Amino acid sequence: MRDFKPPLIIDEIQYAPKLLSPIKRLADRQPRPGSVWLTGSQNFSVMEGVRESLAGRVALINLFGLSDEEKGGSTQSAAGYFRRIAETGFPKLRGVRVSHARELYLSSYVKTYIERDILELPRIEKRREFEIFVKMCALRTAQIVNFEDLARDASISAVTAKEWLGLLEDSFLIKLVHPYHANKTKRLIKSPKLYFLDMGLAAHLAGWRDPESLRLGPMGGAALETHIVSEMWRRLRHRLREAELYFWRTRDGQEIDLLVEIGSRCYPIEIKMGRPDFSRLPPLGRIAGPGWQKGQLVSLSAGPRRVSLNQDWDLISPQNISLDE
């Protein structure tokens, strides 16, 4: 380490954990931020060493797949938008239009992810059950988690299902979104909604190989909702913005798909595939808490310009969501 001068980049740090001790000493000698950059593709092993050796000396940044914003371009057609979803956020698949090449890449990714990152963990002993579990999760994206049903379909216990969901979230395959309550302590005791952070990968796992079949099939609405929620999360994390995602639902069936809480502000977002029924939108004037902003109804049927529906909601396209950035 004495032979290298900062700034220094070390890739795949999990394969050289003994470097963490000299990196710690280098960080103490060079306190300026950015002296050493560590990257790794295995979150579990990387974080174990970082927590032990570099506590208080490191800033952690999670890199997700490419966002629509990073890909550039735009499309106003529903079919075009679903082709973008199927493209996934993997940089290697940017611009790949040949479906069998994309499927080969994704199937190889899933295999190496399970064999390399997951099966090394002592908590995972059944590879076949875990593979089925991941596919069952893909089929349930944008749904409230029923641990008993999920466990039964994957032939595991409900306790194991909860533990494995935690592993999928820790490895950035999924995001669990909890229900919103004015009393924040209640947010942790209700069932969350499950979202894949890459809907293209989820479609592959769920067996939807063609974007048009996905759009017109029974998962079309869930696929659109999943993509927009994951896009929102990437957008916030790529800007290092501290935010929380929630959903809102009442016992009589009223719901808001997504609430984005940033500081004292809360942004309601409702997501619909086709032309929505405006009369069924929740009246925000009756339910909004302090700091709630005007709601955004996101629909593939919306034009390029924002349209005010009423005092509570605007109609916008997926590419025009705004959080006052």
Per-position DSSP letters for 128-189, written without gaps between them:
HHHHHHHHHHHHTTTEE--HHHHHHHHTS-HHHHHHHHHHHHHTTSEEEEEEP-SSGGGGGS
40/73 same-domain check: no
Q: Is the pLDDT of residue 149 over 80?
A: yes
Instruction: Let me know the angle formed at the C-alpha of 232 by 212 and 163, rounded to the nearest 5 degrees.
Output: 90
Same structural domain for residues 26 and 82?
A: no
Mark whether 122 and 233 lie in a shared domain. yes
Sequence-separated (6 or more) residues with CB below 8 Å from residue 168:
134, 137, 174
% pLDDT > 90, the chain: 42
pLDDT higher for 258 or 16?
258
121 falls in which pLDDT band (50, 70, 90)? Answer: low
> Is residue 265 situated within a structural domain?
yes
Cβ–Cβ < 8 Å for 148, 138? no
Same domain? For 102 and 16 the reply is no
Domain that holds residue 149: 68-320
User: Is 46 part of any domain?
Assistant: yes
What's the rounded Cα separation, in Å, for the pair 173 and 27?
Answer: 31
Q: Distance between CA atoms of 144 and 184, rounded to whole angstroms? A: 19
87 and 181 in a single domain? The answer is yes
- Asked if residue 44 has pLDDT above 70, the reply is no
Looking at per-residue pLDDT, the higher value among 105 and 15 belongs to: 105
The pLDDT of 19-30, averaged and rounded, is 83
In contact, 107 and 204? CB cutoff 8 Å? yes
DSSP assignment string, 36-63: EEE--S-HHHHHHHHHHH-TTS------
Q: Are residues 38 and 167 in the same domain?
A: no
Residue 1 located in a structural domain: no
pTM given for the model = 0.88
Do 114 and 156 belong together in one domain? yes
CB environment 165-199: b (16+ within 10 A), e (fewer): bebbeebebbbebbbbeeeeeeeeeeebbbbbbbb
DSSP structure class, residue 292: B
Find the mean pLDDT for residues 191-201.
Answer: 95
* pLDDT higher than threshold 70 for residue 119: no
* Same domain? 201 vs 77: yes
Averaged over 312-322, what is the pLDDT? 89
Count Cα neighbours of 45 within 13 Å in the Cβ-side half-sphere: 18
**Has residue 141 been placed in a domain?**
yes
pLDDT for 95 beyond 90: no
Query: For tokens 């000299």, what's the residue?
Result: 22
Q: Are residues 212 and 281 in the same domain?
A: yes
**139 in any annotated domain:** yes
Query: Per-residue confidence at 47, pLDDT binned at 50, 70, 90?
Result: low
Q: Are residues 206 and 265 in the same domain?
A: yes
Tens digit of pLDDT for each residue in 49-88?
676 677 778 888 888 899 988 888 777 789 999 999 999 9
Residues 122 and 235 in one domain: yes
CA distances (Å), 220 to each of 113, 140, 168, 214, in order? Answer: 26, 12, 23, 6
Give me the amino acid identity at 71.
K
* Residue 98 scores a pLDDT above 60: yes
The answer to whether residue 61 is domain-embedded is: no
Quick check: 239 and 76 in contact, CB under 8 A? no
Write down the pLDDT at residue 316.
92
Q: What does the pLDDT read at residue 43?
A: 62
Tell whether 315 is covered by a domain.
yes
96-105, 111-120, 209-218, 313-322: segment of lowest average pLDDT: 111-120
Residue 84 lies in a domain: yes
Q: What is the pLDDT of residue 136?
A: 96
In terms of domains, do 36 and 139 share one? no
Domain count, the chain: 2
Mean pLDDT of the chain: 86
301: number of CA atoms within 13 Å, CB side? 11
